[in-house]
Amino acid sequence: MAVWSHTCFDLIVCSKGTLFMEENGIQYDIGQGMMLVLEPGKVHRGYRPTETETEVYWIHFQYPLPSKPLLVDKNNWQQPLLIATEQDTEFKPGMIDIPKFATIDLRSVVPLLTDMLKLHRQLTQYRSFELQTLFGQLLTLLQNGMRKSSPQARSFFLGEKVASYLAGCLELPFDSERMELDLHYHFDYLARCLKQYSGMSPMQYRHRLQIDRAKRFLAQSELSLVQIGEQCGFQDHN
């Protein structure tokens, strides 16, 4: 059995059988429908032979290493708004969370992995970009699966729903009772979910969206200040 230490991450997805892996002395039995991420700089080996016919997808990838520990318990999914303009020429700093060792939905994951293999076997400069796009979809899929299975899943998705709701009715006066009726939850609970999601109250989040929209109108339109105020939901023209 080989023993190695890589400078990149290894993402292993088992589609059949069981693979027995060890990382820094910790043993993992990666059964069908499970995944494991091996971290760079740690010692890895197979600690026992497979007992049945086993098939795995194995992806090597690199990612800038943060200064904090790589493996952390996820206890929140806060999504604070980034400051963005219409003149941005570079991607904003991004992040994604994927599980270390978890059960996954092979029905959604395997088709992506199959498409990635097809592209990799006939790789060109154009297909290289497509391959990176598919890999991003795979990581997002793994992240969404982790969110859905977390204790915070309900509050996260409801916070996301509140944020989308507020963005869709900026030009209207703020109405907490209307929000309760439309989203079918008590306003206090909706506010707590949005606070966990964005770090802001509904009014703070709405005001942030209003200011951002007003900036875009001021920079790109010929509308008057009164018209811009109406489009952004400011009831007081002053």
Same domain for 125 and 176, yes or no, is no
Distances (CA, A) of 7 to 62, 65, 99: 8, 10, 19
pLDDT at 76: 60
With a cut of 90, say whether residue 91 has pLDDT above it.
no
3-state DSSP assignment of residue 101: strand
- Which structural domain, as residue segments, surrounds residue 34? 3-62+97-148
Residue 80 lies in a domain: no
Q: What does pTM read for this prediction?
A: 0.66
Of 122, 148, 174, the residue that ends a domain is 148
Q: How far is CA 121 from CA 114, 128, 131, in A?
A: 11, 11, 11
CATH classification of the domain holding 205: 1.10.10.60
DSSP structure string for 65-84 = PPSS-S---------PPP--
Whole-angstrom distance, CA of residue 180 vs CA of residue 189: 10
Residue 11, pLDDT > 70, answer yes
Give the CA distances from residue 81 to residues 64, 149, 168, 185, 209, in Å, rounded to whole numbers and listed in that order: 22, 24, 16, 24, 9
235 vs 98, which has greater pLDDT? 98
The answer to whether residues 127 and 45 belong to one domain is yes
Phi/psi of residue 232, nearest 5 degrees: -100, 0
- The stretch 148-152 carries a mean pLDDT of 69
Given 114, 148, 182, which residue is the final one in a domain?
148
- For 57-76, the pLDDT digits (tens) are 999 988 766 554 455 555 56
Task: Assess if residue 195 is contained within a domain.
Answer: yes
Last residue within a domain, chosen from 113, 148, 183: 148
31 membership: H or E segment, kind and range: strand 26-31
Average model confidence (pLDDT) for the chain? 85
Same domain (yes/no): 126, 194: no
pLDDT of residue 69: 45
43, 3 contact by CB (below 8 A): yes
Residue 48 pLDDT: 93
Are residues 106 and 56 part of one domain? yes
Together in a domain, 166 and 106: no
141 and 200 together in one domain = no
Least confident of 62-66, 136-140, 176-180: 62-66
